[in-house]
Chain A
């Protein structure tokens, strides 16, 4: 079969459309980048994304700002955010891998119900669950604690992770499991030695998702955390642009720094997004 090359006008049209779409996505980001490097607290009204003067003043101020106990505030909030995001990822992945394996490979009473409820649960936005979650955390004495936040984030991330991983496990060739069973492996060994290594790409993707869920989340964190010292980065950033004093320069600098870990993670994970690991398992 030969692939026909599209005609020139179509190529130009498609590229123009893509360029416009890219601009639409990138322009606001560029304005933030501009603000982060431009002197002054106010957002300039100029639509140009190129700063006239460049300074690292905002970064310096942000990183050296001290909290009420003289600690480095930005560092402290970064640690809070990292702790929450990493714990959420670890808990979420551990639980959803095992759940997805069971749902993918075994038939048991309640399997359909579990799958459906995981799907239905995802349809509710987190803000809708805010009040019941608040009550639950209060009962558990986990309000205003990072572990409470981890609990909330894990439970919201798990349904998505389970579905994604189940889809991934389903796609592993059935014969691999059968070969392992005939070779004498039990379900737990198959999970460790066959499923987990082969599902690395799927796990990487869901881990990234869990991490991002926790790292970027604002509404629940700002509701459940009352102690300023425990704020995660998004909450801290928002609180830095208060009603009366708004330092948009520091805000922009903080927003940029906050997005770095996610970008780094994307970079690490991208090879898994592309490559399949099962090549060579079965014929072809």
Chain B
């Protein structure tokens, strides 16, 4: 059990254009035994953060703490963590067995123990028949399993994964995802997992850290992130199809307040500290073609109908902007049809138009 903590970490690469720091004053805690997923768009500094934890990159400022110990000055070898690289990075001139045994040999483990641990891990990962092969004689999925095995066999304090599945096809990715979840559940090792695949993040994470340009946007459980995104960026990052955003302005009307946009008006929830321009977010599954309850109507026309099998996705243009709707497969609306979409006011996410931050 072991906690990883980053305090005041900044990273400025030499010769980076504009001299902008990749990471600026990052404070993060990765609780002991949790699998924390770091997610964000390309170039936001996920790999950099992971490599700083690994000791492969030196932070410009700040400290890295593992298990309550400041390891900032220690080389990777002395941090007792294992890393799985996106490119696998298997030793091409060694057999699978030797790849798995490499780290144990460096630690001068007894030969009997090496054989036992390698065999156990190989069995668990379905590599037993491949132990004498070289990496080039393996398929992508098998290589990935060796790369994971190489990390697992060491029983390190911390696992680091840098987009380990992004070179695999969709089916293998699903399998390996469950494999990693199982390994984490069995070993309970603190794990840092970098990805830009939101499905991996949602399914694997105990906790998600959303990064953007080296800044933490939100930290929370997968459900919190999905149900209460802290700002418009996070709201738009998770969910497929992405959340709809409608502009509106808050105005007082009679006793209460209403947010009025083009073609619609919704009551502002009581305690919300809102005024002026707002952005309303609503997920495609919270938009319906059926009226009912206190749903708010918005007129529009279907521009595109995408059949996904169990359901259809309708793209609707409305005066307030484009709206995506997830609807049952039997929905009759076709491209060109005029429709009215109904928004569930209780499912609305309210963001301040200026700061983009969640208001309610």
Contacts and interface: CB of A to CB of B under 8 A. Distances in A.
Contact of A182 (B82, B93, B135, B140): B82
Interface residues of B, number: 32
B87 A175 contact: yes
Contact of B135 (A178, A184, A197, A281): A281
B75 A282 contact: no
Interface string B81-103: 11101011111110000000011
Contacts of A180: 91, 102
A181 B75 contact: yes
Contacts of B83: 178-179, 182
Nearest to A179: B89
Nearest to B54: A182
Contact of B107 (A175, A184, A193): A184
Contacts of A283: 87-88, 140, 143, 167
Contacts of B212: none
B103 A184 contact: yes
Given A280-B134, A280-B138, A181 B56 contact: yes
B56 A178 contact: yes
B140 A277 contact: no
Interface string A119-157: 000000000000000000000000000000000000000
Nearest to B167: A283
A263 B232 CA distance: 70
A281 B137 contact: no
B75 to A, nearest CB: 7
Interface string B130-147: 000011111010010000
A176 B89 contact: yes
Contacts, number: 85
B77 interface: yes
A182 B136 CA distance: 22
A278 B92 contact: yes
A204 to B, nearest CB: 14
Interface string A171-188: 001011011111111100
A183 B87 contact: no
B150 interface: yes
B236 interface: no
B77 A281 contact: no
A179 B91 CA distance: 9
Given A280-B138, A280-B143, A281-B135, A186 B77 contact: yes
B89 A198 contact: no
Contact of B89 (A186, A197, A281): A281
Given A277-B93, A280-B136, A184 B87 contact: no
A175 B87 CA distance: 8
A279 B103 CA distance: 22
Contacts of B89: 173, 175-176, 178-179, 281-282
B106 A184 contact: yes
Given A173-B87, A178-B85, A185 B106 contact: yes
B49 to A, nearest CB: 15
A202 to B, nearest CB: 14
Given A189-B106, A283-B87, A181 B92 contact: no
Contact of A175 (B85, B102, B106, B136): B85
Contacts of A193: 102
Contacts of B56: 178, 181-182
B77 A280 contact: no
A194 interface: yes
A278 B90 CA distance: 10
B167 to A, nearest CB: 5
Interface in B250-296: none
A181 B150 CA distance: 13
Given A182-B83, A185-B77, A281 B90 contact: yes
Given A198-B92, A277-B93, A282 B87 contact: yes
Interface string B47-86: 0000000111000000000000000000111000111010
A179 B92 contact: no
A279 B80 CA distance: 29
B85 A179 contact: yes
A158 B81 CA distance: 39
A97 to B, nearest CB: 16
B136 A279 contact: yes
Nearest to B140: A283
Contacts of A185: 77, 102, 106
Given A176-B91, A283-B140, 11 more contacts: A175-B87, A179-B150, A180-B91, A181-B55, A181-B77, A182-B56, A184-B107, A198-B93, A280-B92, A280-B143, A281-B90
19 contacts: A173-B87, A173-B89, A175-B85, A176-B92, A178-B83, A179-B89, A180-B102, A181-B55, A182-B81, A182-B160, A183-B102, A184-B77, A184-B107, A185-B102, A277-B92, A277-B93, A279-B92, A281-B92, A282-B88
Closest 9 CB pairs of A and B: A280-B136, A175-B89, A282-B87, A280-B135, A183-B103, A281-B92, A179-B89, A184-B77, A184-B106
